[in-house]
Amino acid sequence: MSDNRSGLVNIRTPTYKRPEALRRALQSMIDQSWPDWVCDVYDDDPDQAGRAVVAALDDARIRYTSNKPQLFASRNIDHCFSAENPHGAEYFCVVEDDNFILPEFCAANIALSRQQGVEIVLRNQFFEYASGTQEAHVGTSGVLDELFTEGLYQPDDFRMSLLAGIGVSNGGLFWSVRAISPLEIQYACTATLQEYLRTYSIIEPVYVAMHPLAVWAENAEQTTRNAGLAAGYLRRELDLKRAVQALRRKVWREATREQRARFMHDPRFATPAGARAINIGKALIGASLTGHVPALEAFRLRLRGLVICLLGRVTPDFTRFVASRDSLRHGTGRA
């Protein structure tokens, strides 16, 4: 990677058979107040529906690539977080085809990165409800509203957000060429699990910006094409929950005594204490849930966690991922 101060933003856009949504996403880039950007569109549609959209917009800053072979959903998203820098860009972000960004997204994130002296900004996003339907509308609440508060987070504290919620949202990440956190996961798993793993991958300070300047489409029920994984829905869900459980348990074990003591009431996290207790219970973490959830509910949470532990699988790939991130954090290797 080249270390420069060009201000060029490399936007990566994975797409699959959603030409109208893609058109909206790309138009939101054209509407940016920051003009110095280039977008790489990665089309996973064998029929290349995105090619005509790019051609019609006729903007030289938008580059089209047809994936050959197909990557499928989660791999197509994941490779957009690659450390490769073919355009010599200074900044990077990922805008999936069904999402879009507001006009000040790039300019505000660059300004914040430079003002705060950080290489990663996590930006809040508005929810778009019923995305892709005639009832689609953008709400007033944000993806991060019940997870973070505005401010700078050191990596160990940022990792604690995995106990409060999911951590990063792909579309909210904005990072520079100088970032050292490995954001590409590089193993087969669902796009949802990738976000948890991306949170765990952060090894440097992050500034969380709570003013939403992007829009995230809430349309999980429309996503029928997964990571190309052969496993059925139930198996994927059990393995997802087991991986999240294992990750949360590891974060808790690695937390300092002070971090554990303040977690339930840490004001930097906006997650209600009851929701934090639910995550702690399902992860089979030994912290007391008394005063946060009723005793019977605490029992049910731990029972559910035990079922997940018994039926879900921690895959060898997951174990290798965690080991690679740990070696990078402790300076004994590279991810």
- List the domain boundaries for the chain: 9-222, 233-329
pLDDT at 168: 96
- 146 phi/psi in degrees, rounded to 5: -105, 30
- Could you tell me the pTM of the whole model? 0.94
Nearest to 128, CA basis, from 156, 150, 100:
100
**CATH numeric code, 9-222:** 3.90.550.10
Report strand pairing: 137-142 vs 9-15. Answer: unpaired
How far, in Å, CA of 277 to CA of 287, rounded? 9
How far, in Å, CA of 217 to CA of 259, rounded? 33
Q: Across the 335 residues of the chain, what is the mean pLDDT of every consecutive 10-residue run?
A: 68 98 98 98 98 98 97 96 97 98 98 98 97 94 98 97 96 98 94 96 98 90 50 87 98 97 96 96 94 95 97 94 92 52
DSSP 8-state class, residue 221 = G
pLDDT at 3: 42
Residue 163 in tokens: 């106990």
How far, in Å, CA of 95 to CA of 81, rounded? 11
